[in-house]
Structure 1
């Protein structure tokens, strides 16, 4: 997200998107969310800023979740990712297990940053590769403090990086085919370039060494998201 050179707001408000059917709240505060999942390493750094003031948002709770290399989400590991799901609402697909891989949260530091260690996500039928994000405003580094959900979104990847990853051993051989960003309904109607991560390779010789992804997310700290309500975090808890 690029800053304006003049006038308010100082930062673009990042576009909100749906939370999807695979949202849950395992209450896991952790930087490494991979749990040993097989896949190409991904280091993700997100910076949360107040879109009105350009100041970093500190002590915000940033949750992320995404599927594994084969398209499975923890909590729904028995749902076939090669078959397109008909629904996108929270709770629309009953959970099948208590796995927690590729989910977790971090509190933003004094610079508004969070950093996660994960793997590059795969895909499930009918979608491009993406990562879900929710940002909660808290009164401090405690789940019990008063909070509200200010922003819910999805992050996408440059096509060149996605195609490289999908051709590797851990991701290939699927019955379904990943959509490109421009074929993905949510990317084209809600996200677009403003939801696309900046990606760099971690190694010089091979993409197998992994990727580093980053984005600045501009939010309205007083906004109340319509995508996830505070009670959803309580309702859909492990």
Structure 2
């Protein structure tokens, strides 16, 4: 008689996308919008992000916040901070606000397929970092974007080196004193599994990258988790 072999326990539908630090420039501008560029100079970037439950693979219909620096490395709200000088990049609120600008920030609800799209520009860099975009997945109740402040996941999205080299050669990104780090040189990319948060990027134009880029990624999160990177009280620190 053959020995009975129990079937293997099912594994997660997706590997959890690793979290990254929120950085010092998180704020809560209460802006629900798809186009976050506000006319900022830079090469266009169209983003399509799919958010799924890592345990089941099902789409997540919740809120997503996104923020990043402009072509010169400056963040809205901190526009007067010199991006060519390294700063304390570890904690929310580590750097005092300098203004009330809101460029390159915004949030949306995902659709029934767990998809959200943003129109923005390809980010530049600031001293001590590679090119990246910050993102947070917020679990909400009902249709009120501000009703629930449970942040399940905080991450950073990274770019392929070949695309970033083309972008940094463009006029809007040049003339900097600081040099951009490549991904492997970036301490957070290296220590927090940044390779797992690499966008798939291709140029929009067939023959040139000057028309901009399209980037996409699937992000798998634990909807029951509460991220330690952004706490509920952090939403009250810098609200416009």
Task: Determine if the alignment matches structure 1 residue 14 to structure 2 residue 17.
Answer: yes
- 5+ residue gaps, structure 1, are 1-5
* Alignment partners' CA distance in 2, 1:209 and 1:80: 28
Counterpart residue number, 1:180: 182
Counterpart residue number, 1:221: 223
Counterpart residue number, 1:25: 28
Would the aligned equivalents of 1:74 and 1:101 in 2 still touch at CA under 8 Å? yes
SS of the residue corresponding to residue 233 of structure 2 reads helix
* Alignment partners' CA distance in 2, 1:133 and 1:8: 26
CA RMSD of aligned residues (A): 1.1
Give the superposition deviation at 1:161.
0.4
Give the superposition deviation at 1:191.
2.8
Would the aligned equivalents of 1:154 and 1:191 in 2 still touch at CA under 8 Å? no
Counterpart residue number, 1:3: none
1:88-108, CA deviations, whole angstroms, 9 ceiling, x for partnerless residues?
Answer: 210010000000000000101
Would the aligned equivalents of 2:88 and 2:94 in 1 still touch at CA under 8 Å? no
The answer to which of 107-116 and 134-143 deviates more is 134-143
Counterpart residue number, 1:44: 47
* Alignment partners' CA distance in 2, 1:66 and 1:87: 13
* Alignment partners' CA distance in 1, 2:198 and 2:29: 26
- Considering only CA atoms, is the larger Rg found in Structure 1 or Structure 2? 2
Give the superposition deviation at 1:124.
0.1
Counterpart residue number, 2:120: 118
Q: TM-score scaled to structure 2, two decimals?
A: 0.94
Segments ≥4 residues shifted beyond 6 Å: none
- 5+ residue gaps, structure 2, are 1-8
Would the aligned equivalents of 2:88 and 2:95 in 1 still touch at CA under 8 Å? no
Give the superposition deviation at 1:39.
0.2
The answer to which of 226-235 and 8-17 deviates more is 226-235
* Alignment partners' CA distance in 1, 2:188 and 2:146: 33
Task: Determine if the alignment matches structure 1 residue 232 to structure 2 residue 240.
Answer: no
Q: TM-score scaled to structure 1, two decimals?
A: 0.95
Would the aligned equivalents of 1:139 and 1:147 in 2 still touch at CA under 8 Å? no
* Alignment partners' CA distance in 2, 1:201 and 1:178: 21
